[in-house]
Chains A and B, each alone.
Chain A
Amino acid sequence: MNSPGTSLYLENLGVTFTSKRSGKVDALKGISLKMEQGDTFALVGESGSGKTTLLRVVLGLLRPGGGKVFLLEKDLEKCTREELTQLRRQCGYIPQDPYGCLPPTLSVIQSVLEPCLIVGGRKSLPMAKDKAGKLLREAGLDDPSLWDSRVRSALSGGQRQRVSIARALVLDPLLLLADEPTSMQDASTRGEIIEILKRHVKRGMSLIFVTHDLFLARTAAERILVLYRGCPCEEGPSDEIVKDPLHPYTRALLAASPRLGQKIISVSRGSQENGLETEGCPFRSRCPETGEQCASLPPLKALGSRKVACWKVR
């Protein structure tokens, strides 16, 4: 349950979208999770699995169709607009698209300072400036001559992503929602950025890290939740999930991830059109191990420190 020190508590969360082609689609279904202060969680799944939708629900940008959301101990359903604003100010958000998320008219340093300006006003700026500079240096933008140039004209995607990281951390958030924050980084800088996030976790920040890369998820977070088409497949300690994946979808994700010197293996998608069954296991049309039972939705069963939603796992 929601209790003091809980950063995030989700109970049986559901979101349904209506689309012309497919009718009603469950974007999220039956999601429950609990994060204490300083916990780190990775959401893993392919495009369309509901990772970004989940972040939007947590920030109160999208009202869920069902279930409960407690953010920093507050029930989002009962929050007034002002309370929601206050809650959001305690959360950092690194959106997926570094091209779309930074104000086009601001310089690098202004982009990082903007949250301070909004929350603390002009008088807070002198102090915030030192901090913004420190964060930019930390994020690898250590050339101050770049700080006064406009984000739009001078920065690559990877550099924008680092500005967006500094911007999300400048108010020392209690919870950071990072949506594929290293997607445009080289392998060598990916690890460095995760190090930065981990330093903030040490001071008590909680972290939700969204990625489609299980290896990166393990590096960034203690626990992993694997999503497929909005449904939880598997949840547990990162190391155990990567070393011994229980759900066939988790195994497919691992086999598809490039690894040094190994062939990547793809799970067949079947026909492009089917696979939108509304009942049963959402993965069954692509699952190599599917059976008769899979026509009904498997429950998320607890197995020691892990949970898995698959009829074949005992």
Chain B
Amino acid sequence: MIRIHDLNVTYRSNSRQVHAVRNANLTIEKGRITALVGESGSGKSTLLMAVTKLLPPGVSLKGSILFENRDLLSMTEGEIGSYRWKKIALILQGSMNSLTPVISIGSQIEEVLSFHLSLNGSLLKKRTHELLSEAGLDPSFSMRFPHELSGGQKQRAAIAMALACDPPFLLADEPTTALDVITQSEIIGMLERVVRARNMGMLMVTHDIALASSLGDEIVVMKDGRIVERGDPSSILHFPEHHHTRELISALRKIEGGTYHE
């Protein structure tokens, strides 16, 4: 498991000190999906990015993130490099736009497999096709280039890449925010199946508490850099304790129920 203990993230922006994450404690366990919910600026993405230390230079990280008895925060860049992708994979909202435009989808996945797992030859092709199918893409997609794919298909390709090294943990930052509800439902369904089948641990950041409640085993709510509430979806929805959680829920209930203007 990944244990985030007393994490504080600060940086300077426009000569102002920003305390993006304050005293956060969070555990990501294998076989569990944790949904981290908050509005824009709540610090949820910063917290997720801190786990792989992928924050810009000049950002100060205090506290500890324990993984396999080591503190990720005190590792050098070289050491943590061997954890990213292999042990902890990442899917971002813009993952679909991070595919290299001039390389076919298949070659990009093969590159990950040969670099990290030293696969080659026919095994490389076979594994690439398996990964594409697992992410819901026909193996023929390996010949295509990113511009030939729709947003949802690109996000599937990015997920296939994230799964390439069979990582035990997956961090997903708003993986479906830019997609329509139909595509979102397919990708969330696929992600959930894959994560459960492989018994992975997933931390998913989302601004949508309804989406969080539809797939999380645990919902964690953040506001102004602090974790203000956590619990299983049904207790969070039915007995929210923090006023911010109540606000998030009631705003959605009004839109769902068609009673916003009453």
Contacts of A194 in B (CB 8 A): 260
* Contact residues of A between 216 and 254, Cβ < 8 Å to B: 216, 218-219, 238-239, 242, 252-253
- A 84-142 contacts with B by CB, 8 A: none
A11 on interface, CB distance cutoff 8 Å: no
Q: Is the CB of A269 within 8 A of B40?
A: no
Q: Which residues of A contact B (CB under 8 A)?
A: 21, 46-48, 156, 158, 186-188, 190-191, 194-195, 198, 212-213, 215-216, 218-219, 238-239, 242, 252-253, 255-267, 269, 271-273
Establish whether residues A191 and B153, one from each chain, have CB atoms under 8 Å apart when the complex forms: no
For this complex, into which size category does the number of interface residues on chain B fall? 35 or more
Given contacts A194-B260, A271-B138, contact A258 B179 (CB under 8 A): no
Q: Which of B95-103, B119-127, B161-169, B205-213 faces chain A?
A: B205-213
A259 touches B210 (CB 8 A): yes
B197 contacts the other chain (CB 8 A): no
* Interface residues of B, Cβ cutoff 8 Å to A: 39-40, 137-138, 141, 148, 150-153, 179-186, 188-189, 207-211, 213-215, 233-234, 237, 247-249, 251-256, 258, 260-261
B39: which A residues are within 8 A, CB to CB?
Answer: 186-188
Given A47-B151, A260-B213, A272-B137, A267-B182 contact (CB < 8 Å): yes
Q: How far is the CA of A258 from the CA of B207 in the complex (A)?
A: 12
Q: Report the nearest A residue to B208, measured CB to CB.
A: A258
Q: Which residues from A are CB-within-8-Å of B258? A: 215, 218-219, 238-239, 242
- Contact yes or no, A259 B256, CB < 8 A: yes
B40, B152, B185, B237 pick with most chain A CB within 10 angstroms: B185
Once bound together, how far apart are the Cα atoms of A239 and B261, in whole Å? Answer: 13
Contacts of A271 in B (CB 8 A): 138
Q: Is the beta-carbon distance between B180 and A190 smaller than 8 angstroms?
A: no
Contact of A195 (CB < 8 Å), options: B186, B210, B233, B261: B261
Residues in A neighbouring B207, C-beta threshold 8 A: 186-187
Q: Is the CB of B237 within 8 A of A187?
A: no
* Complex interface: chain A residues within 8 A of B188 (CB): 264, 266
Given contacts A191-B254, A260-B249, A262-B210, 11 further A-B contacts (CB under 8 A): A48-B150, A187-B255, A258-B214, A260-B256, A261-B234, A262-B213, A263-B215, A264-B215, A266-B185, A267-B182, A272-B141
Q: Is the beta-carbon distance between A188 and B248 smaller than 8 angstroms? A: yes
Name the residue of chain B whose CB is nearest to the CB of A194.
B260
CB closest residue in chain B, given A45 = B180
